Structure 1
Amino acid sequence: MKKPRLSERIAEQLESMILDGSLKPGDRLPAERVLSERLEVSRPSLREAIQKLISKGLLFTRPGGGTFVKNSIATSFNDPMVAMFRENPEYRFDVLEIRHALEGNAAFYAALRATDDDKVRIRSNYEQMIKLHGSKDPMDEARADAAFHLSIVEASHNLVLLHVMRGLFELLQNSITHNLDKLYTIPRVFDPLSAQHKELMEAVAEGRPEDARKAAQHHLAFVEDSIKEIDAEEARKIRSLNRMNILGETPK
C-alpha cells in the first residue's frame, strides 16, 4: 500500500479539526510558523496541505490577510435546496423531521461523551442565547440558538453527524427566516423554548442520555407545532384582509 505523503496527512488532520469544530467557519488559521510548530511538521509540507484544502473549498486566503476557514463549508449541498425550500415552504417540515431524529441521538451521545470543555461551551452558548433575547434583530437570537444546538452535536463527538447538522442548520435558517423571527418575539413561545433549552443543557451536563434524547425531541416537536401555529395565524389574517378588501372595509 502506498504510504500517504506528509502533506496529505496534515491536510487530513486540519480537515478533522474543521469537521469537529476545533476550527470553526470564519476562523483564521494561526500563522504558518505557529501552526507548523503546533503540528510538529515542516512549513513546506504545511503549505502544501493548506493548498490542498483550498482546492477542496474548505479554506480560502485573503491577500496579506491570512488563511481562513470558509463560512459555508456545505454550500454545494445547500444552495439548490435553499432555492427549492423558498419555493415550497412546506418542505421546511422535512428538515424539522430530520432534526428530530438526528438531534435526539446527538443529545444522547453528548450526555455520554461530553468533556468538561464541551459542557462549558454548551452553557456559554445557552447564556449567550438568553442574553440576546429582545435583540433588535431576532435573527441574532436564532443564530445563537443554532450555536447552542450545534455545541451539543459537537459534544457527541460524531464528525459525520456534526457535518450533516451544520448543513441542516444553514438550510433551515435560509429557508424559514420569517418563522424564526416570530419564534423569539412571542412570549408564549419563547418562555417554553427557554425552559426546554435549559432542560436539554442540564441533561447533557449531568450525563443523563435518555433524558437528553427526550428533551431534544420534545423541544423540536414544540418548535414544529409552534411554526405550524404561526403559519395558521398568518393565513387567518390574510383571509381576513382579503375579505375586508372585497367588502371595502377598513382594517381596524
Structure 2
Amino acid sequence: MTSIKPRKAVQIAEHLEQLLAKGHWALGARLPAERQLAAQLAVSRPSLREALQQLISKGMLESRVGGGTYVLSTKPIGFVDPLLTLFRENPEYRFDVLEIRHALEGNAAWYAALRSTDEDKASIQACYENMMQLHGSLDPMNEARADATFHLAIVEASHNLVLLHVMRSLFDLLQNSISHNLDKLYTQARVFEPLSQQHRELMDAILASDPERARQAAEAHLVFVEDSLKMIDADEARKQRSLRHLSR
C-alpha cells in the first residue's frame, strides 16, 4: 500500500514550527517578507501562505494588515492557554513561574558553564549586547523580549532539549501574562542598573566556564526580578488606591 505524503503546506508548516521551537525567530519578531521567506525555504508562495495560515490558526503567528507576520508563541498556544487564562484571572500565580525558574535556570546556567561551545558563548554574548543596545528604545517590551532571548540562549547552551522546551513555555507565559510589568523593569534606573550588572555577571561566569558562579548568578538575578516585580505590583496598588480615594 502506497503511503500518502503530507501536503506541501503541511510540511512547510511543520518545518516553520520546528524553527520557532528552536528560537530561529524571537518572540515578537517579524518574519521575513513572504517573497523572501519563500525563496529561503525554496517553496512556492501559495504553499507558504497556506502554511503561515496554519500557524496563525494555532496562535503561533499573527498577521498584521500592511505590517507583516509576527511571532506570538514558539509553540501552539493551546499548550499554554489554560495556564495563561489562570494567570490573567489570578495574577499572584505569576510568581509561581518565577519560583520554578529559580530551580530550572540555576541548573541551566550550571550546565551551560560546563557544556557551552565557543559558538554557544558567542551567541550568549551577542544576545547580551543586543539587550544592552535596546535599552531606552521606544517600546520597552523590545528589551524584555531581548532579555528572554538572552536567558534562552543560556538554556540552549546547557544542551538539554527538555529543559529548553520547558523554559520556552515559561517565557511565553511570563511575556503574555505580565507584559505590563515587564516593560517597567527597563524604564526605572533603580531596577535597570542592577539587572544589567546581574546579566553581565551571569554571562561572564558562563564564558569563564565556572558552573557554581553561574548558578549563583542566575539565582541572585531571579531573586531580584521577583522582588522588583512585587515592588512594581505594590506601586500599582498604591496608585489605584489613591485614584479611588480622589474619585470619591
Q: Which TM-score band applies after superposition, normalised by the shorter structure?
A: 0.7 to 0.9
Query: For the residues of structure 2 that align with 1:153 and 1:222, how far apart are their CA atoms?
Result: 19
- 1:30-45 matches, within 5 Å, as 30-31=40-41
Query: For the residues of structure 1 that align with 2:239 and 2:92, how far apart are their CA atoms?
Result: 19
Aligned residues: 213
What is the identity percentage for the equivalent residue pairs of Structure 1 and Structure 2? Answer: 61
- Counterpart pick for 1:241 among 221, 240, 243: 243
Shift of 1:108: 0.3
1:199 corresponds in structure 2 to 201
- 1:102-181 matches, within 5 Å, as 102-181=104-183
Q: Could you say if the C-alpha distance between residues 208 and 19 of structure 1 is closer, same or farther in structure 2, counting changes exceeding 3 Å?
A: farther
Q: Which has the larger radius of gyration?
A: 1
Query: For the residues of structure 1 that align with 2:185 and 2:179, how far apart are their CA atoms?
Result: 10
- 1:65-104 matches, within 5 Å, as 72=73, 73-104=75-106
1:36 corresponds in structure 2 to none
SS of the residue aligned with 2:80? helix
Q: Is the 8 A contact 1:108 1:209 kept in 2?
A: yes
Gaps of 5+ in 2: 1-5, 7-14, 44-50, 62-70
Query: For the residues of structure 2 that align with 1:226 and 1:150, how far apart are their CA atoms?
Result: 21
Shift of 1:20: 7.8
2:185 corresponds in structure 1 to 183
Query: For the residues of structure 2 that align with 1:212 and 1:231, how far apart are their CA atoms?
Result: 29
Q: Deviations over 1:157-183 (max 9, x none)?
A: 000000111111011000001110110
* TM norm structure 2: 0.75
Q: Is the 8 A contact 1:19 1:159 kept in 2?
A: no
Structure 1 vs Structure 2 CA RMSD: 3.3
Q: Is the 8 A contact 1:134 1:185 kept in 2?
A: yes
Gaps of 5+ in 1: 1-6, 8-13, 34-50, 61-69, 247-252
Query: For the residues of structure 2 that align with 1:116 and 1:142, how far apart are their CA atoms?
Result: 26
